[in-house]
Amino acid sequence: MMPTDSPQLLALLKEHFGYSSFRPLQEEIIKETLAGRDALALLPTGGGKSICYQLPALAREGLTLVISPLIALMKDQVDGLLENGISAAFLNSSLNEESSKDTWRKLYRGEIKILYLAPERLLLEGMLETLDSLRLEFVAVDEAHCISSWGHDFRPEYRALKKIRERYPHVPILALTASATERVRYDIVDMLGIPEAKLFVASFNRPNLSYRVIPRMEPIKQILEVLADHPDETGIIYCLSRDRTESVAEELTRRRFKAAAYHAGLSGDERARRQEQFARDEVRIMVATVAFGMGVDKPDVRFVIHHDLPKNIESYYQETGRAGRDGLPSECVLLYSSADAAKLRNFIDQTSDPLEREVAGKQLTQLLAFAEGSECRRVSLLRYFGEEYHDDQGNRCTSCGACDNCLTPRSEVDGTEIAQKILSCVMRVVKHSGFSVGLGHIVDVLTGASTEKIRKWGHENLSTYGIGRGRPKQEWLYYARELLSLGLLRINTERFNVVEVTALGTRALKDKQPIMLKAPLVTSRLSSDKKAQQRKQLGAIEYDAAAFEKLRMWRMQTARAKGLPAYMVFSDATLQNIAARKPSSLSSLGTISGIGDKKLSLYGEELLEVLRS
């Protein structure tokens, strides 16, 4: 009889994965699929998507098919399942003929519970007919957003996956993705032929991640400061261009860091090799373009640094989401440069498609408001995804206590005169020309720039022309965006992102109301007290550091002997819990999260010996 109630599912979870409780929505998704119904699950990176199809596979008698585009990672995923005592295999172009035949023999004998396939492999002539001879009971479509041309990683071959539903109408399908807009969600259920699929959407909050934005001044020096807080730890540095990834990686290598570059200009084999080096800790720091994204399956990434501005907030969320997938405190640092913003704005202005230009302009405005804003970073991020931030007691909250804006709040300055100059400049431009303009042009007028547009429209004759020469352009842009956040200005996205004074702004100008503004971003490192406060807020485990290092050394030696990435033996979180509790028996060791029955029998005595030593 197939186990479907909570005690039975929890027993399977503990036996094979070593966890005594489910993460949010995992159990509900598992029960939905075990009931034979289709589902679409939106779980953030690190939210435990794989458990949602791996555990139901254990509960079923037959075969579970997992469709995944991540060929380079299939072996690692299968190796991890085998380590947990779960029979799994993959079929892709990396296998030689003999290995492929051996996998098919095991499939025909019913010895494999989970089979990973790339979508293009599934659609090879005869593959679906061959599956007819196997006992297919469940299909999981990972990275399901790839099916939609509106998604951020469209794969045309995903479109043909509807054939699965047509051929196996009674086999439940679970589609999984880390993020999808309303349009992408519709495409997923429509193109997979699962219109009745129940939607599960988890919180976008990653409580173990901290967010920090600092002005980019001396990027290598600033990166080294972040690395100093993460000795011997793994991280990713995202750059906008291939050349930048190469130059930063070379500079870090020169300083004796294990760093490598990763971008689309490398051959497929070389990208796969570097990804494997990263997974096995032979490379500690990957300096990459966004080409290094969806395939990152490493749970112990302790920091993500953005050397350059990402495209939009969704990209930023996806890329920072590579950090801390094991639930331990991890850091996300954005090096902010107004020059990057100007480049992106210029690039957008040259876009020929009006709709595309409008959408990109709005996304950039949202990103800059996040980067320059003074409110809690977590609150700001969650609001973008339509979610309110709540504390552990479920109360609506405006401070996470762990980001830079919460730990080192910016001072307030009397911005009355600044605000009056900006607001009156916007109003005088409209009065003079009869139309509104973009924020950049307003600042050009304030700082007395001599641009083609200013001369064309006669804006050098305005009384506000040049009245802001005493401040740099970047500072005026910052304060203007502060006025946007206060509701004194607004961006009209329906009219090419022009800036307008609101009724609130008009009243403030007319009544000469005092206006307090947050001071601009400053570069600063957190004090040791602030770091301790941050780690506590992020859920850091208190453990014996010496014991943890011994356990890490044992794990590294064990992983190398087996040809596995270290995290597949045990996660950092599991080792930290062992170093905190220091169990003295197999039974007490078995109660630690991340130690299932298979790993207890494999490694239990060795772990106890390490602790005794």
Strands (E), 307-459: 330-336, 412-414
Over 60: is that where the pLDDT of 320 sits? yes
Which is more confidently placed, 140 or 1? 140
Q: Which two tokens stand for residue 411?
A: 């001072």
Gap between the Cα atoms of 237 and 232, Å rounded: 15
Looking at residue 318, its pLDDT comes to 84
Which is more confidently placed, 363 or 525? 363
Identity of residue 353: D
Looking at residue 304, its pLDDT comes to 97
Over 70: is that where the pLDDT of 137 sits? yes
Over 90: is that where the pLDDT of 133 sits? no
pLDDT digits (tens, 9 = 90+) for 44-81: 877 788 999 999 999 998 999 999 887 767 888 898 89
Looking at residue 1, its pLDDT comes to 53
Gap between the Cα atoms of 290 and 316, Å rounded: 10
Q: What is the mean predicted confidence (pLDDT) over 184-201? A: 93
Contact 309, 318 (CB under 8 A): no
Q: What stretches of 486-527 show up as alpha helix (H) in DSSP?
A: 503-510
Q: What is the mean predicted confidence (pLDDT) over 254-262? A: 96
Gap between the Cα atoms of 473 and 480, Å rounded: 11
Among 13-17, 240-244, 291-295, 468-472, which stretch is predicted with the lowest mean pLDDT?
A: 291-295
DSSP secondary structure of 442-484: HHHHHTT---HHHHHHTGGGSTTTTTTTTS-HHHHHHHHHHHH
CB within 8 Å of 478: residues ≥ 6 apart: 338, 372, 520, 521
| Reported confidence tier of residue 412, pLDDT bands at 50, 70, 90 | confident
Over 90: is that where the pLDDT of 477 sits? no
CB within 8 Å of 191: residues ≥ 6 apart: 147, 148, 158, 159, 161, 162
| Residue 366, Cβ density class (10 Å: 0-12 exposed, 13-18 middle, ≥19 buried) | middle
Looking at residue 96, its pLDDT comes to 84
Q: What is the mean predicted confidence (pLDDT) over 197-220? A: 92
Among 242-246, 315-319, 425-429, 571-575, which stretch is predicted with the lowest mean pLDDT?
A: 315-319
Strands 330-336 and 412-414: unpaired
Looking at residue 294, its pLDDT comes to 54
Rounded to two decimals, the pTM is 0.82
Over 60: is that where the pLDDT of 195 sits? yes
- Measure Cα distances from 20 to 25, 50, 89, 215, 581 in Å: 15, 16, 26, 43, 17
Over 80: is that where the pLDDT of 359 sits? no
Over 90: is that where the pLDDT of 555 sits? yes
Tell me what the pLDDT averaged over the chain comes to. 89
Gap between the Cα atoms of 562 and 551, Å rounded: 17
Q: What is the mean predicted confidence (pLDDT) over 149-165? A: 82
Q: Of all residues in the chain, what percent carry a pLDDT higher than 70? A: 97
| Of the ranges 116-125, 151-160, 167-176, the best mean pLDDT one | 167-176
Nearest Cα to Cα of residue 63 among 116, 8, 15: 116
Identity of residue 422: I
| Residue 339, Cβ density class (10 Å: 0-12 exposed, 13-18 middle, ≥19 buried) | exposed
Identity of residue 195: P
Looking at residue 132, its pLDDT comes to 87
Gap between the Cα atoms of 327 and 333, Å rounded: 18
Looking at residue 524, its pLDDT comes to 66
| Reported confidence tier of residue 3, pLDDT bands at 50, 70, 90 | low
Domains and CATH numbers, the chain: 6-201 (3.40.50.300), 209-407 (3.40.50.300), 412-518 (1.10.10.10), 542-612 (1.10.150.80)
CB within 8 Å of 312: residues ≥ 6 apart: 360, 363, 364, 366, 367
Looking at residue 485, its pLDDT comes to 78
Which is more confidently placed, 526 or 398? 398
Over 80: is that where the pLDDT of 328 sits? yes
